[in-house]
Amino acid sequence: MIFIAGASGFTGGHLVGHLIRKGFGVKALARSSATLRKLSAEGCQVVQGDITDPSSLKGVLSAGDIVIHLVGIIEEKGDSTFQKVHVDGTANMVQEAKAAGVRHFFYQSALGADLRAVTAYLRTKAGAEEIVRASGIPFTIFRPSLIIGPWDGFTKRMLEIIRMSPVIPVPGRGDARFQPLYIQDWLVCMQRLIEDPAAFQGTFEIGGPEHLTYREIILLLASASGHERPVVNLPMGLMKFAASAMRLFPSPPVTADQLKMLEQDNITDIDSVSGYFGFQPMRLGEALKEFVKE
């Protein structure tokens, strides 16, 4: 059985549908009744629970399961902190996985994860990795760069800004490089891992076939959506001040952590996917044609 924590998120939602179509047995963890009903309607076995509540995880796993842990947040809200979700939640999942005797444990981390990173997001992703590595369970960790596709939060937010604004605002110079990976290519990587976990033990940094600056990514999104606009570079100092002032808003448009991540390259080997998984992933411009409409 493939057990997925984080099945209601962007990557998890795509993975559930993909695996069910391919005939895999899938069980998912759902925090809310609405998510439980939605996943059940897709043909997935569902159990209600929350990775931040260890008591709710008791008995949800079985010996021989492959656990796919995709739960993550990109900003903190209320008591959903990076520490509680990424580190404590992973510790709870690992503890239950050890008790059940699962076959393999997969963790979705992030490119740039490091205990000394400048952002709490990346530091806590690295902390979660350490827990998985120390578990004694055969494991795989993916460190992807930006994953894009239908419903992904980054593309959705950027397209909203591009379509509504007469100009395209870019924080700072916009020259930090990223390596966008199309969700369909990530799914191929995941399927190959699930089919042969022993062949993919360890930590894998992955990304698409291009190193693109933030500015280049935004311009490709604007072109794909038919809303080409002039770019206006906003001083990063001003953006950080505004983010600090808005940090108490229920859902600020940008956080200080996210701005820090726009100042650093987030790339790995350009041939990472082809080298590890034996196929060539799609370039960003081609991927956008598949899911961005004018």
Instruction: Please give the Cα distance from 271 to 278 (Å, whole number).
Output: 10
For 60-76, the pLDDT digits (tens) are 999 999 999 999 998 88
Distance of CA 113 to the CA centre of its chain: 12
CA-closest candidate to residue 233, choices 177, 168, 161, 157 = 168
Residue 167 confidence (pLDDT): 92
For 111-148, the pLDDT digits (tens) are 999 999 999 999 999 999 999 999 999 999 999 999 99
Instruction: Please give the Cα distance from 168 to 162 (Å, whole number).
Output: 6
For 229-278, the pLDDT digits (tens) are 899 988 877 777 676 666 656 566 677 778 778 889 999 999 999 999 99
Rounded to the nearest 5 percent, the helix, strand and coil shares of the chain are 45, 20, 40
Q: For the packed helices 153-164 and 214-225, what is the interaxial angle rounded to 10 degrees? A: 70
What's this model's pTM, rounded to 2 decimal places?
0.93
Cβ count near 118 (within 10 Å): 14
pLDDT over 90 (residue 45):
yes
User: Domains of the chain (ranges plus CATH)?
Assistant: 2-144 (3.40.50.720), 151-178+208-268+278-294 (3.90.25.10)
Residue 263 confidence (pLDDT): 81
